[in-house]
Structure 1
Amino acid sequence: MPHTLIIDTDPGADDVIALLFAMAAPEALKLEALTTVAGNVPLAKTSRNARLACEWGGRPGIPVHAGAERPLRRAAIHADHVHGQEGITGVAVHEPAVSLAEGHAVDHLIRTLRAAPAHSVTLAMLGPQTNLALALEQAPDIVRGLRELVLMAGAHFNGGNITPVAEFNVFADPHAAEAVLRHCSGVPVTMLPLDVTHRILTSEARIARLRGLGNRAGRIVADILDAYAPQEMRHYGLPGGPVHDATVIAWLLAPSLFSGRAIHVEIDSREGMGFGQTVADWHGSLGRAANVNWIVDGDAQGFFDLLTAHIARLP
């Protein structure tokens, strides 16, 4: 069944690739809007980069609503040491021709989910979960409109990428991630953590296939990966670079590429070494009901085959 989809995002190199991926699958993903949040870089740049993705993907009509400029409670942090000052490395950025859509992202989420049929909207979240947390705080009834949440968030077996235990999207606003899990009890939630994204890695051959497509989108994705992947490889000692957020789109299109199981997950929002950790009760030690479908493995070649086939469809 096709997804009526909103993507909440903080582009970011891997976010841009995820957005292009989603735009190339209109038969399966009815992409209604993008909502942006501060994360990898400040809000002005994530909002510009989301509009650039729409331009590069040949979908300038997709509205982009700017959202939260800062986390709920913690001091703001960014990941420009990974994504560069502009949020995308390897390609030149410019001001897109299409302006931001009118209205704050939080208001758009409330309005859209209230008007939607029950259990009809899939929300893919590729950054800090601040926008949805604010929307749920103001209008808890909107949970009725959600079909499912699919998040690039968390880490357990892999360890973190911003602290030894925390993944960036959760660490950037753990209070928001905590609120989303609390308010969305009963909504199917799938998390694609570092556990799986660090198993789905680039290679020279995989990037070359994307570049060899001969279209603009293929060159852009290849250029981004050529610039983005090496620093991840050096830092983690990996044979290739992860494409974190794009796994969310692959899961929506081909969940059979992935494996995991339903477990109980809580967010540590206490100050200290564990701040921002996703506490994943893999063995059911707490005896609490499962609230997340936690993905731990994926078919790397299947992912890159799917990504490449879709990027080939774009201008």
Structure 2
Amino acid sequence: MPRKILLDCDPGHDDAVAMVLAHGDPRVEVVGVTTVGGNQTLEKVTRNALAVATAIGMTEAPIAAGCGRPLVRTPELAAQVHGESGLGGVVLPEPVVALDPRHGVQLIIDTIMAADPGEITLVPTGPLTNIALAARLEPRIVERVREVVLMGGGQHIGNVTPVAEFNVHTDPEAAHVVFNEPWPITMVGLDLTHQALATPEVVADLGAVPGPVTDLLLSIIGFYASAYRDVRGFAAPPLHDPCAVAYCIDPSIVAAEPVPLDVELGGHLTTGMTVADFRRPAPEGCHTKVATVLDAGAFWAAVKGALVRLQNPSTTRAGEPR
């Protein structure tokens, strides 16, 4: 049976690739998508989620708009990386997927409470505002979630500040709530995602799969690569968010180890820092893990496999003939 995941995202170029991977790989099933203000405004990222879902044929999972701003802080955007639309440089179809009328936080709660305990994995790839509010509004979801696999943070590096990553830095109070709930958490942070580089060789290999979804993916990576080169100084862009999905697909792709985690809220220079305590041994019952090593070959093979499946309408998501 595929692992059931609920994506909480702010598309965003790498969020869009995460949607492609999640919908195209039969080892996971997307049971819902919620959006959160982050890379761009809530209105823009929600439209992007609906348009990407339309482009890749993700028509069954409900999509709902969540929180448009952090719990406490002034909203931050990442237009310098993702453009004014949130998916700069990408031509998207008009959405034909309808927006679910529920608030995204309510969709998260409804989905978890309607499923069996341990059935739903939450995969947040944006600021953690929706996840924190869901845990506060309906505390029973914490013991029912299988795991929270989040893209955010970093055990040694940041990208907004020297020590803080964008998703956590945008809403550190929400991240503090999420990290301190007792559900199992795996943090897929920058130290891991910087190993998922879309090099020219990787892009050429993906481009060998003909079809419209590949065209979409290449346009996503093309703009993103240019922005990352200009803004961050990377020769090849790291695709952060699909790494969290890859962990759900096959944990052997992303090695993780138990490490106590918390979030700095009050530091003058360190607000939003995810503090990972690598002293050994980790305490018994440690509920947080940190992703450390990516099997890059297996990761890109999974992305390519998703492309192949999404572009062959004569096959099911499991790759079996109809």
- Cα distance in structure 2, aligned partners of 1:95 and 1:288: 51
Task: Give the Å deviation of 1:232.
Answer: 2.0
Match of 1:177 among 175, 178, 187: 175
Contact 2:180-2:262 at 8 Å conserved across structures: no
The one-letter code matched in structure 2 to 1:168 is F
Q: Taking structure 1 as reference, are residues 287 and 272 closer, same or farther at Cα in structure 2, changes over 3 Å only? A: farther
Contact 1:12-1:83 at 8 Å conserved across structures: yes
What corresponds to 2:6 in structure 1? 6
Contact 1:264-1:288 at 8 Å conserved across structures: no
Secondary structure at 2:140 match in 1: helix
1:61-105 CA-to-partner distances (Å, cap 9, x unmatched) read 321100001111111111111100001123123541222111101
Contact 2:163-2:270 at 8 Å conserved across structures: yes
Identity within the alignment, %: 35
Contact 1:265-1:291 at 8 Å conserved across structures: no
What corresponds to 2:16 in structure 1? 16
- Number of equivalent positions: 311
Contact 1:6-1:121 at 8 Å conserved across structures: yes
Tell me whether 1:85 sits opposite 2:84 in the alignment.
yes
What corresponds to 1:156 in structure 2? 155
- Deviating more after overlay: 93-102 vs 187-196: 93-102
Match of 1:303 among 299, 302, 320: 299
- Cα distance in structure 1, aligned partners of 2:136 and 2:84: 32
The one-letter code matched in structure 2 to 1:12 is G
Contact 1:264-1:289 at 8 Å conserved across structures: no
Secondary structure at 1:35 match in 2: strand
What corresponds to 1:123 in structure 2? 122
1:29-50 CA-to-partner distances (Å, cap 9, x unmatched) read 1211101100000001111111
The one-letter code matched in structure 2 to 1:300 is A
What corresponds to 2:316 in structure 1? none
- Deviating more after overlay: 52-61 vs 166-175: 52-61
- Unmatched 5+ stretches in structure 1: none
Contact 1:201-1:239 at 8 Å conserved across structures: no
What corresponds to 2:32 in structure 1? 33
Secondary structure at 2:259 match in 1: strand
Q: TM-score, normalised by structure 1?
A: 0.93
Q: Taking structure 1 as reference, are residues 113 and 260 closer, same or farther at Cα in structure 2, changes over 3 Å only? A: closer
1:170-200 CA-to-partner distances (Å, cap 9, x unmatched) read 01111001001222x1x22111100011112
Aligned pairs for 1:1-315 within 5 A? 1-25=1-25, 27-93=26-92, 95-157=94-156, 159-183=157-181, 185=182, 187-270=183-266, 272-284=268-280, 290-315=286-311
- Cα distance in structure 2, aligned partners of 1:225 and 1:4: 27
Q: Taking structure 1 as reference, are residues 22 and 286 closer, same or farther at Cα in structure 2, changes over 3 Å only? A: closer
Task: Give the Å deviation of 1:284.
Answer: 4.4
Task: Give the Å deviation of 1:223.
Answer: 1.3
Q: TM-score, normalised by structure 2?
A: 0.91
What corresponds to 2:320 in structure 1? none
- Cα distance in structure 2, aligned partners of 1:275 and 1:310: 37
- Cα distance in structure 1, aligned partners of 2:246 and 2:118: 21
Secondary structure at 1:112 match in 2: helix
Q: Taking structure 1 as reference, are residues 243 and 117 closer, same or farther at Cα in structure 2, changes over 3 Å only? A: same
- What CA RMSD, in Å, does the superposition of the two structures yield over aligned residues? 1.8
The one-letter code matched in structure 2 to 1:22 is A
- Cα distance in structure 1, aligned partners of 2:38 and 2:280: 32
Task: Give the Å deviation of 1:256.
Answer: 1.1
1:245-268 CA-to-partner distances (Å, cap 9, x unmatched) read 011111111221222311000001
- Deviating more after overlay: 98-107 vs 286-295: 286-295
- Unmatched 5+ stretches in structure 2: 312-322
- Cα distance in structure 2, aligned partners of 1:254 and 1:120: 16
Contact 1:17-1:246 at 8 Å conserved across structures: yes
Task: Give the Å deviation of 1:271.
Answer: 5.0
The one-letter code matched in structure 1 to 2:140 is D
Contact 1:257-1:302 at 8 Å conserved across structures: yes
Contact 2:125-2:151 at 8 Å conserved across structures: yes
The one-letter code matched in structure 2 to 1:244 is H
Contact 1:263-1:289 at 8 Å conserved across structures: no
The one-letter code matched in structure 2 to 1:194 is L
Secondary structure at 1:82 match in 2: helix
